[in-house]
Structure 1
Amino acid sequence: MPVPEKIVLIGAGLTGPLLATYLAKRGFNVEIFERRPDMRKTPINAGRSINLAVSLRGIHALKEVGLFNNIKNILIPMKGRIIHDLNGSTRFLPYGQDDKEVINSVSRSELNMRLINLAEKTDKVTIHFIQRCLGMDFKKKIISFINETSKEKIYLESDCVIGTDG
């Protein structure tokens, strides 16, 4: 199988820029197309959870792409959760066997912005915002987008397209 000249990712949420950074580190040129505006420039309705839990696996991924040291100061360790029973009592359920086993809470938008910045710093990743994917002609290997503001359609040929939009 020939190596693709360029890889196209659909979605610049958490997964898109993380995968783009991995691919860029392996020498690939990557273009990301995102339906929403650039969240670093335009306030966006979260629509999703404000914070998210990052497990040890997520920490490992952040370390692999070199972002962990940049993000660890905004991680909030969570040792467990409180269960509210029907009778009104509460009980604590730890996430691990000891106090060192935690899940970390982090701002979804802050993590997303830092992942986007990291991907762009590779100089192998280009992110196109306000571009909604309309579909793909698999036989011709052409993917189509529409600019959500100007309504201009864009057609792009690519051997490798990956959906990273959740």
Structure 2
Amino acid sequence: MPTQKKTLKMIFGLSVLSLVGCSNTVQEQSSGSGAGQAPEVAQVVENHQTESTCPILHSDKWYAWLDKETSEEGQFRLNVSGEITLPNPGFELEWSVGPTDRMRPPGLRLSLIPKSLNQMTIQVLTNVPVKYYMDTPIRQFRHVSIYCGQQQLAQIVDVMLTD
């Protein structure tokens, strides 16, 4: 009798293993995704990767200055310019302004956000000039830091009013 129980357990275990192996094969074929993931899961993973990584390969030539090119009295314009290198021309660039710190003079954090256009593009390194303008009552910044995701691209110190 104990031998029959062992045999039955072994047959049951092997049948479960074979069913599990077959079910994974069926899922891979029906999902339409080569990696065995459902399309929704693959899309979520892809979106998470683009949000957490920065596609900017190189940045250079960063400058920042303040001028009086505004129509309002007591307001100044912060000008930031630089150049970035992207892996292809299929990106749209957006800026996001973070808070200033409480130091005197304050520091400012800007975020450059490249968003993929999800279209076919040629795979060629692309140098893109970037510019940002902001009206502000602040006449001097201790620093202006430019970030892409968690990566600091540049920190420009002693940004002052030019005439």
TM-score clears 0.5? no
**Who wins on radius of gyration, i.e. which is larger?**
2
Richer in strand (by share): 2
Q: Name which structure has the greater RCO, CA cutoff 8 Å, separation 6+.
A: 1
TM-score tier after normalising by the smaller chain length: under 0.3
TM-score for the superposition, normalised by structure 1: 0.21
TM-score for the superposition, normalised by structure 2: 0.21
